[in-house]
Amino acid sequence: MTRIWKHRLFWPIASLLGLIVINSVARPQFLSITMRDGELYGALINILRNSAPLMLVALGMTIVIATRGIDLSVGAVMAVSGAVALTVIDNAADPDNLGTVLGAVGLAVLVSLALGAWNGFLVAVLGIQPIIATLVLMLAGRGVALLITGGFITTVNSAPFSYIASGYLTVLPFAFFISVAAITLIALVERRTALGVLTEAVGINPEASRLAGVRARGIIWGAYIVSGVLAGVAGVIYASNIRAADANAAGLFIELYAILAVVLGGTSLMGGKFSIAGTVVGVLIIQTLESTILFLGVPSAQSPVFFAIVVVIVVMLQSSRVRRGFARLARLRQRRAPDGGPPPDVDPDLEPKRTEVAA
Amino acid sequence: MSVTTTERRPVRAESRTAALQSFLGRRAPWAPTIAAVVILLILLVGAEAFLRGDFITARNLSALLLDNAYLLVLAVGMTFVILTGGIDLSVGSVMAFTGILGAQLISSGVPVAVAVPVMLAGGAAVGLLIGVLVQYFDVQPFIASLAGLFLARGLAFVVSLSSIKVEDAGILWLQSNRIRLGDWYVTPTGIIALVVVALAAFVLHLTRFGRTVYAIGGSEQSARLMGLDVGRTKVAVYVISGFCGGLAGLMLTAYSGAGYPRNGIGTELDAIAAVVIGGTLLTGGRGYVAGSLIGVMVFGTIKTIISFMGAEQSWMQIIVGALLLLFIVVQRGIVARSEHRR
Amino acid sequence: MPATTPPLAPARDELPPIVEMRGITVRFPGVLALDGVDFFLRPGEVHALMGENGAGKSTLIKALTGVYSIDAGTITIAGEERVFSSTADAQAAGISTVYQEVNLCPNLSVGENIMLGREVRRGGVIDWRATHAEAQKHLRALSLEIDPRSLLSAHPIAIQQVVAISRAMVLESKVLILDEPTSSLDRDEVDRLFAVVRDLRAAGVAILFVSHFIEQVYEISDRITVLRNGALVGEYRVEDLPRDALVTKMIGRELDDLEALSRTAHRQIDRSGVPVLRAEGIGRRGMLEPADLEVYPGEVVGLAGLLGSGRTELVRLLYGADRPDAGHVSVHGEQARITSPRHAIDHRISFSSEDRRAEGIVADLTVAENIVLGIQARRGWTRKIRKSEQDALVNEYIRALDVRPAAPDAVVANLSGGNQQKVLLARWLATAPELLVLDEPTRGIDVGAKADIQRKVSELSARGLAVVFISSELEEVLRLAQRIAVLRDRRKIGEVDSSEIDLDGLIDYLANEGKGDAA
């Protein structure tokens, strides 16, 4: 029974491989990686590098979704984080000072942590629906970011800051290492400790978990804090990439792409069982698709159409109506095979109970 | 603001003995909306006091309706959806898509009589897609309307990557024609918006469809067990919301004299905020379109005050966010109390 | 309890049934929920449908009302064979249902709830004045004087139920199904409801009544149909079926199986020492009047009372699942502040909720994960239970409680109710409690699992575990508990020694004790 396509990651990975195959047939240079000055370049490397912000946000979103929640504010948190970091660097005497940059990044992440804690407070303590609770910050967050930058797009020239998004550590982009570090850290914490299974328990049945003594409130709160911190780091990477804090554009729609990545990775939006590996694959699918769309000469502004189609297909495949349809098809085939034998869904254990029918 | 009267229930208590308590018992659902009216009054009077008496003027109040007519139409559509317990994140994008679509059609010589119905139908079609996903494929409204948001935003850019000027006199007339009464004025867009509000209030309170919307928001399972047509109603509210998105697209095109694919990013949040500030419960089943009208006015007033004070527009988002938070927390309290009582 | 069985009008028997269900079979994946059941309902009778949880009562109702489609059999309404595809269909054919949780819209007015979909309209526009007047008329027909414009949610459940019946009458229903309507009503409210039911019966409405309160069934019904395990046991006139015969038919052979356990109840308990738990005046406004309770080591204390009597509320307050606003608790003689389940667990108190699905199992996790959840929660997330430790523990409990299938990696949602209950018991036993609180641990599970669980409780208490045991089956409480605390109307009304009372005595105590002097 353990056929390979029954594995929950089969379809995500197959889709990713399919996309890569299509790309490499359509443009042979897709797979080619060149070495320049001891640094690797190429379409695949770009995908790894550019996916870093989405990767971080999607990881946080996975944890939040596992608790039956959702975090719509990640884009706004990114904007705030970028604004904080750049404003600190901009006001510093020496923007090229490594200490200044580290301090700025640290402060940005700290502010993001506070914003995540705020979301967690609304959801876990006040018991407000997650969509609505995080909507508040989604709305107000960009305003805060604009206030911090004074309504302008703050730009800086700081070599250490630019390094975060554009620099290379040995042969690969530094941003890629941030992704890997985040994935490893999250995966280790969730799976090596009991946090993962407790999070799933809370997501599947919050009341049963509470009665079992699980600190559901703390776990939910923690999930939003993690999401905030990761979004903060993503905001720093984004700002570093464009060397500016753009409160309106930073992280715009990223919450939607992150949710899409989580769903593509096979984690249900109803909470509970989650897959970090699935989310990683989901992010890579999105990034590869984005790269494909760009390659096809479609302006990036139009790419949402493709993602809309992907979302519709994925949610329809997950819906019970379509699944029932498939199941009925499969059963029809099964029924026809043993020339009209009894349908297979009768529990034989229950058959003997027929006997005791009194008139 | 006199429009609120269209909302009043046509029935009055005939029983003389009906004491204050019974009155309050019946009218309790109005409490959040009344709170919104109070907030609006405080804002207006406060602004009048602080800005040395040149705020509450006929010109300003007329402009309030003019500037926010499209938002009002969006909020009305959103009210239908939220009353059923759903949410529609696509309206801002739908507005942009239909706006640019109309501008494109008109600029390429299609008559207005064709272009406008196409815009409205385009909005309704996106709504239909969302409604079908929600009702027949059990997709959460949030996700389904997210797909709608992506689709409409992408399609807007497919129609055109840059803004298209609209020079059709008919369209521009919607905005430029001012029917004056002293210093007061109203534009055709304003009239359209008010008609939409009145029509929505009529449908929600005096037709079976409208009552089914409330019943679904109260308890979808009960509505189904009561034999109401839940499926068709749920699809219909998203179609209505999409249609309102199309209408808002038309009005925004008239307002700005152009279609622009980047219009309305985040406007869905403004619409949701206006609806919630107007006293509609996000969990569904309670609220009034008149409340949404008040919510939009609160929204518009804050915006005007900010520009009067010369403050940063970013305060707008923060203040609306804070108001949203306030109302959500209060709503949460109301729901918790009624749960406790049951 | 005055069981006024009204005389059955002989002519009624001659009336042809308005509902004829023949050979009804309903299958779910892996379960045969109904197996060729016949059921007949005649105009002007109250017909009780009896059976334990899982017997197929609600499946039969849902088959009749078009919620489930039937796999075999025929449904004939007033002589015409019908297939309903929805409740709306069934309603149109004159079959209405009033459920336990009132299925109305709390956000709408009473009148609107009655008239929804049937509003008085003029040219498509609802005439509210006429609609509410019409609603008032229907309410008055059931002797209910409330303002039809008031919000439904402003009224207690009992009133809401009568409103639901009014709605059924607006639809001119010939058949009224009352599905556990009395489970959250107090005695006066039940009387009011029954008065309405008698009026409707007199008016010729056919009433299908489902209840687990045997006394109420005898009070109101003319006829009884008994189901067991999805099959028909038989249809009886109420005067031909004594209570003990009914119980035997409902539960089958298990009565004998479990007799052997009755020794537990007669074990002597040493109450001279310090109790494991002593609660004094613990209560919460609107939930439970302040009550006292003591549990000694090795003792099983039963809580008897009807659903909604406060028995579940009492243990939830003790466990900190709900926060008490009065009283104090001491554990082993020391003051304890228990305001959350974690506090209780820290004091070695475990609680298994009556609602297995919503508050017990974590459906998508495996058997092993569900069993260790309690310990893991106690240890905190940083100290994960090692795989080897987990395997040993899980296998031990699977064997000890005979969980089937004996697969630690099986997803708990796929287990039968009885085995899920065993998994929950394992979760709590694994935390090594000193006081185990079990709320309806045997409800809706098969006989074998029931016996296993009772045996285990008896065994553990003999080894010194203190147990609080709640069950709506009083026999079970009498069999297991040495002492029984009796609750009624959200109040503890007294305690009895189970060796000094029998079932009838307990029922009498539960129904009548303290009625005279209650302030």
Residue at B303 is within a domain: yes
CB C449 within 8 A of CB C421: yes
Chain C residues near residue A327 by CB distance under 8 angstroms: none
What secondary structure letter does DSSP report for C8?
Answer: P
What residues of C are in the A interface, CB distance below 8 Å? 27, 29-32, 35-36, 228-234, 252, 319, 321, 341-342, 345, 351, 353, 358-365, 369, 373-374, 376-385, 427
Asked if B218's CB is within 8 angstroms of C105's CB, the reply is yes
pLDDT of C4 above 50: no
Give the pLDDT confidence of C391-435 residue by residue, as tens digits.
Answer: 999 999 999 888 878 889 888 988 877 889 999 999 999 999 999
Which among B158, B282, B317 has the least Cβ separation from residue A142? B317
| Mean pLDDT across chain C | 85
- In a 3-state reduction of DSSP, which class is residue B187? coil
CB C496 within 8 A of CB C313: no
Share of chain C above pLDDT 70, in %: 90
Min CA distance, B318 vs chain A (Å)?
Answer: 4
**Which of A227, A205, A228, A229 is CA-nearest to residue A216?**
A205
Which among B143, B154, B318 has the least Cβ separation from residue A269? B143
Q: How far is CA B60 from CA B38, B56, B268, B301, C103, in A?
A: 19, 7, 25, 9, 49
The whole-number average pLDDT for the span A327-356 is: 47
Asked if A197's CB is within 8 angstroms of C365's CB, the reply is yes
Instruction: State whether residue B87 sits within 8 Å of chain A by CB.
Output: yes
Cα(B301)–Cα(C292) distance, rounded to whole angstroms?
A: 59
Pairing of strands B179-181, A172-173: unpaired
Min CA distance, A355 vs chain B (Å)?
Answer: 35
**Whether CATH 1.10.760 fits A2-297:** no
Q: Could you tell me the residue ranges of all domains in chain A? A: 2-297
pLDDT of A218 above 70: yes
For A68, other C-beta atoms within 10 Å of its C-beta total: 20
- What the block records as the tokens of B308 is 């009067």
Min CA distance, A217 vs chain C (Å)?
Answer: 12
Cα(C409)–Cα(C397) distance, rounded to whole angstroms?
A: 14
Chain B residues near residue A252 by CB distance under 8 angstroms: 265
**Does pTM top 0.90 for this prediction?**
no
Residue at B157 is within a domain: yes
Which among B146, B261, B320 has the least Cβ separation from residue A139? B320
| Mean pLDDT across chain A | 86
For residue B35, what pLDDT is reported?
82
Min CA distance, C377 vs chain A (Å)?
Answer: 5
Partners for A (CB, 8 Å, 3+ pairs)? B, C
For A339, other C-beta atoms within 10 Å of its C-beta total: 6
For residue A344, what pLDDT is reported?
36
Residue C350 amino acid letter: S
CB B42 within 8 A of CB B305: no
ipTM of this predicted structure: 0.83
The whole-number average pLDDT for the span A318-335 is: 74
Numbers of helices and strands, H then E, in chain B: 14, 4
Chain C residues near residue B222 by CB distance under 8 angstroms: 103-105
Give the pLDDT confidence of A234-288 residue by residue, as tens digits.
Answer: 999 999 999 888 888 888 889 889 998 998 888 888 888 999 999 999 999 999 9
Task: Nearest chain B residue to C106 by CA: give it.
Answer: B218
Asked if A356's CB is within 8 angstroms of C231's CB, the reply is yes
Which among A139, A247, A308 has the least Cβ separation from residue B150? A308
What residues of B are in the C interface, CB distance below 8 Å? 9-11, 13-15, 18, 22, 25-26, 28-29, 205-208, 211-212, 214-215, 217-219, 221-229, 285-286, 338, 340-342
Give the pLDDT confidence of C81-104 residue by residue, as tens digits.
Answer: 988 888 888 888 889 888 777 789
User: For tokens 């310090």, what's the residue?
Assistant: C274
Question: Helices marked H in C25-172 — which ranges?
Answer: 57-64, 87-92, 110-115, 128-141, 157-170
Task: With cut-offs at 50, 70 and 90, classify the pLDDT of residue C258.
Answer: low
Task: Nearest chain C residue to B226 by CA: give it.
Answer: C88
Chain C residues near residue A350 by CB distance under 8 angstroms: 31-32, 35, 229-230
For residue C29, what pLDDT is reported?
66
Which among B149, B154, B325 has the least Cβ separation from residue A136? B325
Task: Nearest chain A residue to B282 by CA: give it.
Answer: A132
For residue B25, what pLDDT is reported?
58
Cα(B161)–Cα(A299) distance, rounded to whole angstroms?
A: 8
For residue A336, what pLDDT is reported?
56
CB B88 within 8 A of CB B148: yes
Q: How many contacts does A have with C, using Cβ atoms within 8 A?
A: 112
Partners for B (CB, 8 Å, 3+ pairs)? A, C
pLDDT of C236 above 80: yes
Residue at B58 is within a domain: yes
Residue at B17 is within a domain: no
Task: With cut-offs at 50, 70 and 90, classify the pLDDT of residue C251.
Answer: low
Cα(B276)–Cα(B299) distance, rounded to whole angstroms?
A: 11
Asked if C361's CB is within 8 angstroms of A347's CB, the reply is no
Asked if B340's CB is within 8 angstroms of C147's CB, the reply is no
Cα(A306)–Cα(B213) distance, rounded to whole angstroms?
A: 33
Q: How many contacts does B have with C, using Cβ atoms within 8 A?
A: 96
For residue C53, what pLDDT is reported?
63
Residues of the domain holding B242: 31-335
pLDDT of A205 above 90: yes
Provide the Cα torsion B169, B172, B175, B180; round to 10°.
Answer: -20
Give the pLDDT confidence of C185-217 residue by residue, as tens digits.
Answer: 777 788 888 988 999 999 899 999 988 677 788
Backbone dihedral region for residue C176 (phi beyond 0: left; psi -120 to 50: alpha; all else: beta): beta
Asked if A322's CB is within 8 angstroms of B137's CB, the reply is yes
Asked if C151's CB is within 8 angstroms of B227's CB, the reply is no
Give the pLDDT confidence of C347-395 residue by residue, as tens digits.
Answer: 999 999 988 888 999 988 999 999 999 999 988 888 888 889 999 999 9
For residue A222, what pLDDT is reported?
96
Asked if C153's CB is within 8 angstroms of B215's CB, the reply is no
The whole-number average pLDDT for the span A222-227 is: 97
- What the block records as the tokens of A96 is 């090229």
Chain A residues near residue C319 by CB distance under 8 angstroms: 211
Q: How far is CA A242 from CA A106, A295, B193, B216, B240, in A?
A: 19, 21, 41, 47, 41
Asked if A350's CB is within 8 angstroms of C230's CB, the reply is yes
Instruction: State whether residue B142 sits within 8 Å of chain A by CB.
Output: yes
For residue C514, what pLDDT is reported?
64
Asked if C129's CB is within 8 angstroms of B219's CB, the reply is no
Which among B317, B322, B328 has the least Cβ separation from residue A128? B328
For residue A351, what pLDDT is reported?
31
- In a 3-state reduction of DSSP, which class is residue C455? helix
Task: Nearest chain A residue to C346 by CA: give it.
Answer: A213
Asked if C362's CB is within 8 angstroms of A204's CB, the reply is yes
For residue C307, what pLDDT is reported?
64
Among A56-70, A147-161, C505-519, name the most confident range: A56-70
Overall number of domains in chain B: 1
For residue C443, what pLDDT is reported?
76
Asked if C126's CB is within 8 angstroms of B208's CB, the reply is yes
Cα(B331)–Cα(C300) distance, rounded to whole angstroms?
A: 45
Give the pLDDT confidence of A74-114 residue by residue, as tens digits.
Answer: 999 999 999 999 999 999 888 888 999 999 999 999 999 99
**Which of C401, C374, C404 is CA-nearest to residue C390?**
C374
Residue at B7 is within a domain: no
Q: How many contacts does A have with B, using Cβ atoms within 8 A?
A: 129
CB C358 within 8 A of CB C340: no
- Give the residue ranges of chain B where pLDDT is below 70: 1-28, 334-342
Give the pLDDT confidence of A8-19 residue by residue, as tens digits.
Answer: 788 888 889 988
Min CA distance, C65 vs chain A (Å)?
Answer: 22
User: For tokens 């106690």, what's the residue?
Assistant: C378
CB A151 within 8 A of CB B312: yes
Residue at B186 is within a domain: yes
For residue C6, what pLDDT is reported?
45
pLDDT of A20 above 60: yes
What CATH number does the domain containing B61 carry? 1.10.3470
Asked if A214's CB is within 8 angstroms of C385's CB, the reply is no
Q: How far is CA B315 from CA A141, B56, B320, in A?
A: 11, 21, 8
Cα(A278)–Cα(A289) distance, rounded to whole angstroms?
A: 16
Residue of C107, C109, C113, C184 to mutate when probing chain B, most B C-beta within 10 A: C107
What interhelical angle do A159-166 and A174-192 show, nearest 10? 70
Task: With cut-offs at 50, 70 and 90, classify the pLDDT of residue C44.
Answer: very high
